[in-house]
Amino acid sequence: MAMADLTIMGAGVFGLSLAFVCARRGARVRVIEKRHIGAGSSGGLVGALAPHVPENWNAKKAFQFEALRNAEGFWRDVAEISGEDPGYARLGRVQPVAEAGLELARARAEGARALWEGFARWEVLRARDAPGLTVTSPSGLVIHDTLSARLHPRHAGQALANGVQALGGEIVLGEGPQDGPVIWATGYEGLEDLSRALGRNIGGGMKGQSLLLHHPCPDAPQIFTEGLHIVPHGDGTLAIGSTSERDFTDPTSTDSQCDALHARAIAACPALRDAPVIERWAGVRPRAKSRAPLMGAWPGRAGHFVFNGGFKIGFAMAPALAERMADLVLEGAGDIPEGFGFDAI
């Protein structure tokens, strides 16, 4: 096994995105994963890449907007280099809106015109005029944004892994040598390990359950209503998710909460009533104490770095954050986005 320039622990979307970016810059990369590609929450079903609302703008929201704007180019490169379709498509999102929320929704449309720089729209439409699946709305109106995108988490993970290997990197399942700087992208278990090592709460895990249905509508926008995501994928499947569970004993079991998601999805989109369920899934998302991704040098541990805590925005943010992390690890000059460093914890 040849010596690597750097080692990345964990083959979720954060670790693999960083490996891909570093390998594309010419670094010799080794990724070590103790289980399998996407073994944690990166192996889930949903894959919603959705923006923050266009109001109360700050550095985090601006960075996320740039990440979403640049996502198409990143995933196109991944597909070309890997030969694997990650399932990315910027098809937008539809959200039912209540009468009481119409004034705010229209104000946000004005905010999007100013803040999204003409790249995408946020608009209020009659539900019957919205693209895609018919959605139930108490007001008969919906919000339609064209910034939201989707990808297939498992296909995206495999595409990244294939891309890393096509660029000369290694993917090691099990144990392997930790050469060069070591970057820890090990999900919620890694945040728990970090908390123990530093003697303070850095973060932990939030369980989520979701379902996969067979319902071909590959060009339909995703739907979001009261915390529920309905995401059509390009392979004829449709994902429904997810729960947010702080307390759990089995990280991979599904239960009646998954049934409730299914019922809520059918109520929001009656066309799903007869769609067969292909899979029920559960996993644990890494959530840093700040709720934002966490990145930077591991305090007091020379040569080690942390790149973790994607929580609900990991797939949307990982490519852009990987560029900054690569600057830090390879060049020693990374500019960590405001609110994403250890000083925010």
* In a domain? residue 169: yes
Q: How is 44-58 classified by DSSP, letter by letter?
A: -S--EE-PPPSSS--
* In a domain? residue 76: yes
CATH number where 171 lies: 3.50.50.60
Q: How far is CA 175 from CA 32, 42, 339, 341, in A?
A: 7, 20, 33, 29
Helices (H), ranges, the chain: 13-24, 59-82, 102-115, 153-166, 187-198, 256-268, 314-326
Give pLDDT tens digits for 20-39. Answer: 999 999 999 999 999 999 99
Number of domains in the chain: 1
The pLDDT of residue 333 is above 90: no
Answer whether 55's CB lies under 8 Å from 107's CB: yes
* In a domain? residue 332: yes
pLDDT, residue 31, reads: 98
* In a domain? residue 270: no
* Average pLDDT over every residue of 29-52: 95
- The token duo for 87 is 């399932």
% of the chain surpassing 70 pLDDT: 100
* Average pLDDT over every residue of 228-257: 96
Q: What residues contact residue 275 under an 8 Å CB cut-off, 6+ apart?
A: 213, 214, 215, 238
* In a domain? residue 177: yes
* In a domain? residue 268: no
* In a domain? residue 216: no
The pLDDT of residue 5 is above 90: yes
User: How would you classify the pairing of strands 29-33 and 170-173?
Assistant: parallel
Q: How far is CA 22 from CA 5, 167, 276, 293, in A?
A: 10, 10, 41, 19
Mean residue pLDDT of the chain comes to: 96
pLDDT, residue 295, reads: 96
* 325: three-class secondary structure by DSSP: helix
pLDDT, residue 145, reads: 98
pLDDT, residue 1, reads: 66
For residue 134, give the amino acid letter: T
CA distance 295 to 316: 16
CA distance 240 to 210: 6
* 203: three-class secondary structure by DSSP: strand
User: How would you classify the pairing of strands 29-33 and 6-9?
Assistant: parallel
Give pLDDT tens digits for 248-284. Answer: 999 999 999 999 999 999 999 999 999 999 999 999 9
Domain with 17 in it: 6-89+151-203+289-344
Phi, psi of 170 (to 5 degrees): -110, 145
CA distance 251 to 62: 33
* Average pLDDT over every residue of 188-214: 96
* In a domain? residue 17: yes
User: How would you classify the pairing of strands 48-49 and 149-150?
Assistant: antiparallel
* Average pLDDT over every residue of 276-300: 95
